[in-house]
Structure 1
Amino acid sequence: KTCCKCKRELPVAEFYKHRKYDDGLQVYCKKCNNEVNRKSYRKHCTAYRATRRAYCASLRRDALQAYGNKCACCGEEQELFLSIDHIDGGGTQHRKEISGGKGGHHFYLWLKEEEYPPGFQTLCCNCNWGKYRNNNTCPHQEKR
């Protein structure tokens, strides 16, 4: 395949996949494609960052909505305080398995791709941390 930018004939392994094109490959080779993307990012970095921030925030909002928009333990509804909890614990190990230990939008994207599976709940940060520090039981639950 010939790169449209550098005009070199290269093996198809040197082109990224792209569903838009008939042959399923980008028109630029990987090297040229990376160069074009790097220049575009530098030129539009503020817009890219804003778009990325909005996308990550929407993933988080969707996950919170799927598991209930309030803490399952104390009822806190302030979105800034809410997080997704692994009901049976093991969140650190699970995040390592799905994204190399990265949390945040990687975890929320996984939840979305898995269609928000059972085994998770919304907790506020206090209840989530209390549960972590107290052998998988929120201190609020011990009072009851």
Structure 2
Amino acid sequence: MNRRALSQKKYKATIKGQITEKKYKYSKTGRATKKRGRKNYYKNSRRKVLEKLGNQCVKCGFADIRALQIDHINGGGAKELKNMSINSFLKGVLLDNGSKYQLLCANCNWIKRHENNEYSKGRGRW
């Protein structure tokens, strides 16, 4: 084989590998694998944030992580989340060394929102 033929053979093998990789990436199994990875990343990030903030509601002491929510002490959480992904938000909470966030159970968080008039005025039923 001449030099050009060897070069083409090598090129085709490389391209074939790249095409196969792209096909897998966008196939159902590739998407499922990617989705599973994102879900695990979110769960781990949320767990770290909950640990940092004390793993319980600061008002009533409720500790079931399924109902704990990250609360902005001074409000403005909806505006902050509008401009970033949930993973970026969790990373920001982890990096925050001030007292900008707290953990509240779902009940305490809704009570706080109602008392401070933080609910959406266009969609609220109050």
Counterparts of 1:75-90 in structure 2 under 5 Å?
75-90=61-76
Relative contact order, higher structure (CA 8 A, sep 6+): 2
Cα distance in 2 between the residues matched to 1:38 and 1:116? 43
Amino acid at match of 2:111: G
Q: Percent of aligned pairs with the same residue?
A: 31
Cα distance in 2 between the residues matched to 1:46 and 1:96? 26
1:38 offset after TM fit, Å?
A: 6.4
Amino acid at match of 1:111: V
Unpaired segments ≥5 residues, structure 1 = 7-32, 137-144
Counterparts of 1:1-144 in structure 2 under 5 Å?
37=22, 39-42=24-27, 43-97=29-83, 99=84, 102=85, 104-112=86-94, 114-135=95-116
Is contact 1:41-1:48 (8 Å) kept?
no
Amino acid at match of 2:64: Q
Amino acid at match of 2:63: E
- Cα distance change of structure 1 residues 38 and 77 upon mapping to structure 2, 3 Å threshold: farther
Is contact 1:111-1:117 (8 Å) kept?
no
Question: Over aligned residue pairs, what C-alpha RMSD do you find?
Answer: 2.8
- Cα distance change of structure 1 residues 38 and 69 upon mapping to structure 2, 3 Å threshold: farther
Unpaired segments ≥5 residues, structure 2 = 1-10, 13-17, 118-126
Once the two structures are superposed, what CA deviation does each residue of 1:85-111 show, in whole Å capped at 9, x if it has no partner? 1011111122234x1xx5x33321222
Once the two structures are superposed, what CA deviation does each residue of 1:78-134 show, in whole Å capped at 9, x if it has no partner? 00000111011111122234x1xx5x333212223x345421111111111111111
Cα distance in 1 between the residues matched to 2:97 and 2:78? 18
Q: Whose Rg is larger?
A: 2
Is contact 1:63-1:116 (8 Å) kept?
no
TM-score by length of 1: 0.59
Is contact 2:68-2:103 (8 Å) kept?
yes
Cα distance in 2 between the residues matched to 1:37 and 1:134? 52
